[in-house]
Amino acid sequence: MKPSNNIWIRRQQCPCGDWKCYIKYEGDDQTSASSQLGRSETTSTELVFTPYVGQIFKSDDDAFEYYSNFARKNGFSIRKARSTESQHLGIYRRDFVCYRSGFNQPRKKANVEHPRDRKSIRCGCDAKLYLTKEIVDGLAQWYVSQFSNVHNHELLEDDQVRLLPAYRKIQEADQERILLLSKAGFPINRIVKVLELEKGVQPGHFPFIEKDVRNFVRTCKKTVQENDALLTEKRENDTLELLEACKSVAERDPDFAYDYTTDENQKVENIAWLYGDSVRAYTLYGDVVTFDTTYRSITYGLLLGVWFGMDNHGKAILYGCVLLQDESSHSFTWALQTFVRFIKGRHPQTIITDMELALRDAIARELPNTKHVVCIWHILSKLSSWLSFPLGSRFEDFKAEFDLLCHEENVEDFEHQWNLLVARFELVTDKHMALLFSYRGFWSISYIRGSFLARTMAPEFSQSLHTFLKRILGGQTCLQASFEQIGLAATVGNQTRDGTPYMHIKTCLPIEEHARSVLTPYAFNVLQHEIVLSLQYAIQEMADGSYLVQHIKKMDGERFVNWMPEDEQIHCSCKEFEHSGILCRHSLRLLEVKNYFQLPERYFPLRWRRDQSLVPMDDQNAQSNNDECAQAFHALAEALLTESLISKERFNHVQREITGLLAEVRSMPVAEELSLNIPPNNVSET
């Protein structure tokens, strides 16, 4: 049950509170049995090359995996036979053979009245692959010295070969579910049926059989009984090592903060820490905070909470972490109190979390003035586990309608459409839909549209957070290793930024030119998209002084914009600026009609400005120089294109010269430092 290669796994408890309810997140790499089966069926049709004498592998493990895949697709399995070792080369020969190779040696029968006489599957098959190691240019490599694919037994079909012991594997996600059902008293045959129903797998089509489940449960129970004391001791030692690592970092970095609690036996219970760079980052971008609690340690049962923010380049900033013994309201309350103390009492404007009743109550108490939002992408990732089985073939239609429902901006329209949705798909009594509706004030756009989220709900940002967590937590074998990896990622994340790309002007509007000089490339690209779309809207002044903004082809709903020229305030009914800090296309259209050449300063929030970046000033100057160089180059390229299109002769000449120039530039050596001083563009029109 406890894989040695990683201690972290995504939580699979369902927020509905039912311990029997199982969550499998969409898009996760934690493959279920059904997905494994689908993959094996797919790969069985792929072209697999037969090994050959002289074939080179980087390692003997690579060769074994290659030969195992070949065997799987040809109806047999393999095992490792003998290996040969020398003093200078170490192991220099490996023998892999068919699982039916050789013969069983007769064993001395036990002194019992009716000894078991099992028939051996070994029949002296001569199929084999022998590897030999050699040193080439100081590097070790393995080559196939002998290969035979001649079998003296019948090869199995795909539906039979999958049942060989070498290919019967129980995946991590299924292991946790099996143990949970076993603890609840489910018999083995019932556990298998529950898994088949949950995953929609036909009976008998798992890549493991009932016997494997029985052996797994028996082994785990025995292991838990034998190692419970050792595991408790290891957990205590690892948490102490983590605490010592925090103390060591605090001695080197006075801005690093940590805190912990102990239980009645003075054992470390909860630990929280915040990185030194995070305090400065929080002063700039602490308006919106994401608290991710989707991972837990499968070795120790500890819950990991990670605090994230978003900088003005649209990138994630890791503030700090907390390890909690449980998911109680008391633990979450301590985590929130500690984080607020770390950041000098500055409460975030908005906090984004997963659905968690205890966390919701803790936030309501500790951050009463902070808007609590449940990430819609966490909800969408759970829909398949909740509803794909009860809805069956109708699930895709439901998902499409649910997505439209998520974008309803009016509360009355949202609740009306919700009632129609649950009635159409017969989900009125479904506990998960009832749970979602009770949380509607935390995730529905109609309820949170006026809350500032700084584009943290964009799908690309949510995916980047999940990818980031998988990268830093994958392959970690202990708490201290995870702590070091997270610390390294936090340092790199807070100090490294991509070079500023050249930002093209698309409309030639003065507003666009001005915004490019003020906003970061990320924020400017978002605003520029709105500027381009604003040209497709028409404006009509209403009797009450407001303005009706409509798409010329009715591709968007009507919006009402209020304009107060005395203090240059503009308010749109879509509330995009209140939501993301970037003006919407409807407001921009009105400003264009009012002949504004620059946006009012109030609509350039500090969090999206270039001058509010964590990048050092020297780096910003270098980026500014690169920006000027890019502009000069683009001006030359545009002039060259215009001149070359006048005649075919000109075009052919330019094409030949540019091709030769490109080849010449590519052949030039690359300098370690780039210092460009391009004079102003002197291209004159002819």
3-class secondary structure for 538-555? EEEECCCCCEEEEECCCC
The mean pLDDT of 528-532, rounded to a whole number, is 95
Domain range 254-375+443-490, its CATH number among 3.30.70, 3.40.50, 2.30.29, 3.30.420: 3.30.420
CA distances from 601 to 168, 236, 511, 519, 575 (A): 64, 55, 12, 12, 18
Higher pLDDT, 623 or 473: 473
8 A C-beta contact, residue 193 and residue 382: no
The 8-class DSSP code of residue 477 comes to -
CA distances from 119 to 78, 106, 472 (A): 19, 11, 49
| Residue 193 confidence (pLDDT) | 84
Residue 472 — pLDDT band, cuts 50, 70, 90?
Answer: confident
The residue with tokens 């190692």 is: 227
pTM across the whole model: 0.67
Q: Which of 146-160, 298-312, 472-486, 523-537 has the highest mean pLDDT?
A: 523-537
8 A C-beta contact, residue 258 and residue 324: no
- What tokens does 425 get? 């798909």
8 A C-beta contact, residue 551 and residue 558: no
- What tokens does 110 get? 């036990």
| Residue 342 confidence (pLDDT) | 93
Indicate if the pLDDT at residue 566 is higher than 50: yes
| Arithmetic mean of pLDDT over the chain | 83
| Residue 522 confidence (pLDDT) | 92
Beta-carbon contacts of 531 under 8 Å, excluding residues fewer than 6 positions away, are 506, 507, 509, 511, 512, 515, 585, 588
Indicate if the pLDDT at residue 626 is higher than 90: no
Cα 95 from Cα 148, distance rounded (Å): 12
The residue with tokens 């060769």 is: 63
The 10 Å CB-count burial string (b at 16+, else e) for 472-506 is bbeebebbbbbbbbbbebbeebbeebeebeebeee
- What tokens does 637 get? 């390229």
Of 39, 101, 49, the residue nearest 70 (C-alpha): 49
Beta strand 547-551 with 559-564: parallel, antiparallel or unpaired? antiparallel
The residue with tokens 């089966």 is: 37
